[in-house]
């Protein structure tokens, strides 16, 4: 006799047409059937004890004489699986890009880095190296970028540079104790680490002058440079071609210069300071001298007192980079250069470091309206 045949026989003999282990008479019936099958008493007791631990056994009355009797199956849990909990809140858009790239289901967690990485917001400049298996995902995420502000995930418009999402994943999804968010916007740092600005760059090396972005919006700084290099150009034109030279000195202007050019231009400004511009401005019909005097007064009010061309040029260089640093990443924030090899250099951006660096002029300049700074020399 099969189990189904046994259950069917048991249901035929029960008073209600279906047996129940909670009904003593049904249990006695089952024991009688098992004895008729000449089963040992020990096996009968064990089987009955097992059945008494199960749910009530019923037979579907709609099946008539051939109905099968089977125990009710426990209800399956149909509630959706809970989404995995990530390390900290993070940035939902950046997470969505990683999930889409890895083709993860909603209930699949983003892979976690296997190592911890230091970040001390109150500390100074430092370096890290992405380790071991973490490099696989670091490299895989290297070219992933969030769309520009307001665009949908998956669009081709890039809102960041290479390595930004790699860095986000490395800190946000490891056990490094850092909450990372994106802060898209032209005047915002790329990321925030525990609410501290972190600007991400992917230069090919950590040394030498690198671009810090364009400075066209810094109108006051452009005006100051315009006064300095305007006076320099005026003096150069009057000087003509120096003896022994085939051509005039290379033209420098507010958009393209280095520290040496700035110092040379300030030497001409110092000479011009000795001219009695107030007297020249009073000459009828020579309004140009009045305009020059107003511009010189503006320059001096911003730079303060300076006794030498180098001192004045250094003051101008500091004025030049200060607004840019204040915006991205902000004084006290970090600028990090990331390499695809996993080598990362975090420079702590502190304005006082520039002020106190006697060689700052050597490490600041401009090229075609792009600010150029040697971060390692100024902030390393």
pLDDT digits (tens, 9 = 90+) for 134-190: 999 999 999 998 766 655 555 444 556 799 999 999 999 998 999 999 886 667 889
Q: What is the pLDDT of residue 24?
A: 75
Q: How far apart are CA 303 and CA 291, in angstroms?
A: 19
pLDDT-wise least confident of 81-90, 182-191, 192-201, 314-323: 81-90
Residue 112 binned pLDDT confidence (cut-offs 50, 70, 90):
very high
The ranges assigned to domains in the chain are 3-71, 92-201, 210-379
pLDDT over 70 at 70, yes or no: no
- Please give the helix or strand (H or E) that residue 3 lies within, else none: helix 3-13
Residue 51: pLDDT band (50, 70, 90) is low
Tell me whether residue 340 is exposed, middle or buried, using C-beta atoms within 10 angstroms of its C-beta: 0 to 12, 13 to 18, 19 or more.
middle
Q: Give mean pLDDT, residues 197-219.
A: 91
Residue 19 and residue 11 in contact, taking contact as beta carbons nearer than 8 Å: yes
pLDDT, position 71: 41
Contact predicate 324/371, CB 8 Å? yes
Q: At what angle do helices 309-327 and 219-239 cross, to 10 degrees?
A: 150
Confirm if 71 and 157 have CB atoms less than 8 A apart.
no
């Amino acid at each position: 006799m099969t189990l189904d045949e046994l259950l069917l026989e048991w249901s035929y003999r029960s008073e209600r047409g279906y047996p129940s282990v909670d009904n003593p008479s049904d249990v006695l019936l089952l024991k009688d059937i098992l004895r008729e099958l000449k089963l040992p008493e020990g096996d009968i007791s064990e089987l009955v004890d097992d059945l008494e631990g199960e749910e009530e056994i019923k037979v579907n009355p709609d099946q008539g004489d051939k109905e099968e009797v089977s125990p009710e199956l426990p209800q399956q849990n149909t509630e959706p699986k809970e989404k995995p909990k990530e390390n900290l809140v993070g940035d939902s858009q950046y997470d969505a890009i990683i999930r889409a790239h890895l083709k993860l289901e909603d209930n699949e967690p983003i892979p976690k880095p296997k190592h911890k990485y230091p970040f001390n917001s109150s500390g100074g400049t430092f370096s890290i190296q992405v380790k071991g298996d973490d490099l696989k995902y670091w490299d895989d995420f290297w070219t992933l970028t969030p769309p520009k502000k307001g665009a949908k995930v998956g669009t081709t418009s890039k809102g960041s540079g290479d390595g930004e999402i790699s860095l986000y994943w490395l800190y946000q999804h490891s056990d490094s104790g850092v909450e990372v968010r994106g802060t898209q916007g032209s005047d915002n740092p790329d990321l925030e680490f525990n609410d501290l600005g972190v600007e991400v760059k992917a230069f090919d090396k950590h040394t030498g002058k690198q671009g810090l972005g364009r400075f066209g919006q810094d109108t006051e700084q452009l005006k100051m440079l315009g006064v300095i290099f305007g006076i320099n150009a005026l003096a150069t034109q009057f000087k003509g071609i120096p003896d022994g030279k085939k051509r005039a000195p290379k033209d420098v202007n507010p958009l393209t210069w280095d520290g040496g050019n700035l110092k040379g231009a300030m030497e001409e400004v110092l000479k011009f300071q000795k001219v009695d511009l107030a007297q020249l401005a009073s000459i009828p019909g020579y309004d140009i001298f009045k305009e020059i005097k107003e511009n010189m007064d503006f320059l001096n009010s911003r730079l303060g007192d300076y006794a030498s061309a180098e001192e004045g040029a250094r003051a101008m260089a500091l004025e030049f980079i200060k607004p840019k640093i204040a915006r991205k990443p902000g004084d006290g924030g970090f600028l990090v250069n990331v390499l695809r090899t996993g080598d990362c250099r975090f420079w702590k951006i502190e304005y006082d470091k520039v002020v106190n660096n006697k060689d700052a002029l050597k490490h600041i300049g401009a090229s075609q309206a792009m600010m150029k700074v040697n971060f390692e020399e100024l902030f390393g």
